[in-house]
Chain A
Amino acid sequence: MKIYTGSGDRGKTSLFSGERVPKDNERIEAYGDLDELNSVIGALIAALPRDWPDLHQDLQKIQSDLFHIGAWLATSPGAPAAESLAPLDLDGAAALERLIDRLDAALPPLTGFILPGGGPPAAWAHVARTVCRRAERRVVRLSADPLPPASAAQLSRAIVYLNRLSDCLFVLARHINRRQGIEDSLWKP
């Protein structure tokens, strides 16, 4: 199977809903950032110790959620193609909150700003966190346009999910460092 089709060689691509749009279209930018986030999370998973199946599983669930959100971002508001997409799961953000609470319970309280870094997997978690915030900003921008209620509801869920995911990735970075015996590096102004 060839991976290339060539139909985008002149700078256009197709949305899931069928429209041909320039590759710098705001929807392409949004799901492109989501794709980048997903890839960074993949790098994070690859950097995790193999004998941490709990986090492997949690992060792969997040990767799957991001694909689902990406499909919605690739669909124009009100397009017939939206009917073939499952609505975004309201429990997705709640599941992230449960994960945050589980990870945060064993962490010492924050006493200042933390310098992003530590061990390789924690550093990837910080990179993922910042890409997540960029993706969130893109989706917020999309939601600023007048939208049919059904599409607006999906974007709202995506924004809540990404907001929670960014927090989750921050806590995850601290959790990973602590689990690997690496202390937080506090910012010293």
Chain B
Amino acid sequence: MEAVSPTSSDPEAGNLFNTRIIARRRLSSKTVELALRKPPGFAFAPGQRVRLKLGPAARDYSIASAPADEAIRLCIREVEGGFLSPQLAGAPESAALTFTGPHGYFTFKASPRPAVFVATGTGVAPFHSMAASGVSGFTLLHGVEQAEDLYYLDFLQSRAAAYVACLSGTSPAPVAHHAGRVTGYIENHLPRRACDFYLCGRQDMIRDVTLLIDEGFQGSLVYSEAFY
């Protein structure tokens, strides 16, 4: 995911690391997964981000892999007209990159309340990292336009108590799904009770879901990570 940079309130400046691309895998027609060599001394918690730097540009990406994995895996959605994401998606294997990190506090917190993960697009990356690190039993709502963007579907289904693909487009889906946006599912189908919500994705989704939580899910906690 390509996240908003933290504000100056982020107390962690993060260390600078050098790395290389060691593998690339296409996740959909517009999204690739880059595997980066994990530099010695780099450690992170599932849900955290790295800030990739390329020339004058820097963008934050949530790590999709687990801390124990050998590589750092990132989901890169090619943003049309973007500066960094097309270069990253097209970068050759072995290309050198620098990044700072880890950044952010979007980490899983153990709780007696059920966890509900809500993602749009590549916002599913931090939830993949959490699941690959042993978190299970959560409800995951993954909102995408096209079914091809249901990244990591099999793995996430295997770890979730409930996995709901929310398709706002009209493409045929490989799984049972909710036709519409994640907000529609939450409003009409998600049982009303206190939950720990983790929201990662577009700012408008985070706003709309947060307002729904305020209205119908009293006593819930909301952790969010917005990107654009």
Interface residues of A (CB under 8 A from B): 1-2, 5-7, 9-10, 12, 14, 16-20, 64, 67-68, 70-71, 79-81, 83-84, 86
* Further 7 A-B residue pairs, CB within 8 A, beyond A7-B206, A14-B224, A20-B214: A16-B105, A19-B221, A19-B222, A68-B11, A80-B109, A81-B109, A83-B109
Interface residues of B (CB under 8 A from A): 4-5, 8-9, 11, 45, 105, 107, 109-111, 196, 203-204, 206-207, 210-211, 213-214, 220-224, 226, 228
17 contacts across the A-B interface (CB closer than 8 A): A6-B204, A6-B207, A7-B207, A7-B210, A9-B211, A10-B214, A14-B222, A18-B196, A18-B222, A19-B221, A20-B214, A64-B11, A67-B11, A80-B109, A81-B109, A84-B45, A84-B107
Knowing A2-B228, A14-B224, the reply to whether A67 touches B9 (Cβ < 8 A) is: yes
Taken together as a complex, chains A and B put the C-alpha atoms of A7 and B202 apart, in Å, by: 12
Which B residue's beta carbon lies closest to that of A71?
Answer: B11
Which among B105, B211, B224 is the interface contact of A10 at CB below 8 angstroms? Answer: B211
Among A9, A14, A16, A83, the most chain B Cβ lie within 10 Å of the Cβ of: A14
Closest 8 CB pairs of A and B: A18-B221, A80-B109, A7-B210, A6-B207, A7-B207, A1-B4, A5-B207, A84-B105
Q: A20 to chain B: which residues have CB within 8 Å?
A: 210, 213-214, 220, 222
Taken together as a complex, chains A and B put the C-alpha atoms of A17 and B224 apart, in Å, by: 11
Taken together as a complex, chains A and B put the C-alpha atoms of A142 and B214 apart, in Å, by: 24
- B207, A80: Cβ atoms closer than 8 Å: no
Q: A5 to chain B: which residues have CB within 8 Å?
A: 203, 206-207, 226
Taken together as a complex, chains A and B put the C-alpha atoms of A80 and B110 apart, in Å, by: 7
Taken together as a complex, chains A and B put the C-alpha atoms of A95 and B223 apart, in Å, by: 34
Which B residue's beta carbon lies closest to that of A11?
Answer: B214
Which B residue's beta carbon lies closest to that of A70?
Answer: B9
- A80, B213: Cβ atoms closer than 8 Å: no
Taken together as a complex, chains A and B put the C-alpha atoms of A12 and B213 apart, in Å, by: 11
Which A residue's beta carbon lies closest to that of B199?
Answer: A7
Taken together as a complex, chains A and B put the C-alpha atoms of A6 and B206 apart, in Å, by: 9
Taken together as a complex, chains A and B put the C-alpha atoms of A1 and B111 apart, in Å, by: 32
Q: A14 to chain B: which residues have CB within 8 Å?
A: 210, 222, 224
Which B residue's beta carbon lies closest to that of A80?
Answer: B109
Which B residue's beta carbon lies closest to that of A12?
Answer: B214
Among A14, A16, A18, A83, the most chain B Cβ lie within 10 Å of the Cβ of: A18
- B206, A1: Cβ atoms closer than 8 Å: no
Taken together as a complex, chains A and B put the C-alpha atoms of A68 and B5 apart, in Å, by: 18
Which among A7, A17, A84 is the interface contact of B221 at CB below 8 angstroms? Answer: A17
Taken together as a complex, chains A and B put the C-alpha atoms of A71 and B6 apart, in Å, by: 14
Q: A16 to chain B: which residues have CB within 8 Å?
A: 105
Taken together as a complex, chains A and B put the C-alpha atoms of A9 and B211 apart, in Å, by: 9
Q: A80 to chain B: which residues have CB within 8 Å?
A: 109-111
Among B4, B109, B111, the most chain A Cβ lie within 10 Å of the Cβ of: B109
Minimum CB–CB distance for B206 against chain A, Å: 6
